[in-house]
Amino acid sequence: MSSTEKVVIAFDLYGTLLSTGSIADELAKIYGQEKALSLAALWRRYQLEYTWRINSMGHYKTFSEITRGALAHAVAEHGHTVTKDDADALMNAYDSLHVFPEIPGAMQLLRDRNDVVDAYVFSNGTGDMVANSIRTSPELGPYVDMFRSFVTVDGVKCFKPDPRTYAHLVEQTGKKENPEQVWVVSANPFDVVGAETAGLKTAFIDRSGKGWVDRLDEKHAPRLVTDTVDRAIRLILGY
């Protein structure tokens, strides 16, 4: 990459910029505070499991459909049912997840370094989900102009870590011939390994503080491991 080219950084959304656990606040209004956190964790677990299962089956449903189904599954595991009105309300709330504490500072850093960074959002979410989540966020909304585009998997009808999703990303960023020039910043190990296997570089956001413990494919571990998105940006720029 020449010294005049910008660094391409694609940020995962759910679990990296946005806290999926923050949906617990809305779940508590319906199912009670004592069940809210476990429901939120189970909802996320089934949401991801559904994407992997449907990938293996060779089928596709939108992330919105996947998320709604995972909600019903999680609620049923807790011995409850979810009404259509409650499901609609929770799905709307999913478009208003809270950011992690360091994200406002990370967004300001992107603005300060806009001359050397081309930033993208790269998500399993639908175009509407991603756009709504970012544009309505008090923390992300003011920085929407920092992202060149929102790259979603809808165009390839499969989910991360399918190789087609990363091929789609590098094509959308204009790096089809040079995937190694694209960085993916993600707190999801499956996303990191998928991106590295596809030839991209990655920074893993270690939100649990346990380091890189994934052992699926040690040859495709992240290039960088750090605890916050803002630190990841600084490390990438100094890589």
- The pLDDT score that the predictor gives to residue 4 is 72
What domains does the chain contain, in order, with CATH numbers? 7-18+98-237 (3.40.50.1000), 22-95 (1.10.150.240)
Confidence of residue 83 (pLDDT cuts 50, 70, 90): very high
Q: What is the phi/psi pair of residue 151, to 5°? A: -100, 115
Q: What is the pLDDT of residues 12-59, one digit of tens each?
A: 999 999 999 999 999 999 999 999 999 999 999 999 999 999 999 999
Query: What percent of the chain stands above pLDDT 90?
Result: 98
Q: What is the pLDDT of residues 89-101, one digit of tens each?
A: 999 999 999 999 9
Q: What is the pLDDT of residues 133-184, one digit of tens each?
A: 999 999 999 999 999 999 999 999 999 999 999 999 999 999 999 999 999 9
Q: What stretch of H or E contains 121?
A: strand 117-123
Mean pLDDT of the chain: 97
> Cα dist. 198→30, 154, 193, 194, 206 in Å?
42, 19, 9, 6, 21
Query: What percent of the chain stands above pLDDT 70?
Result: 99
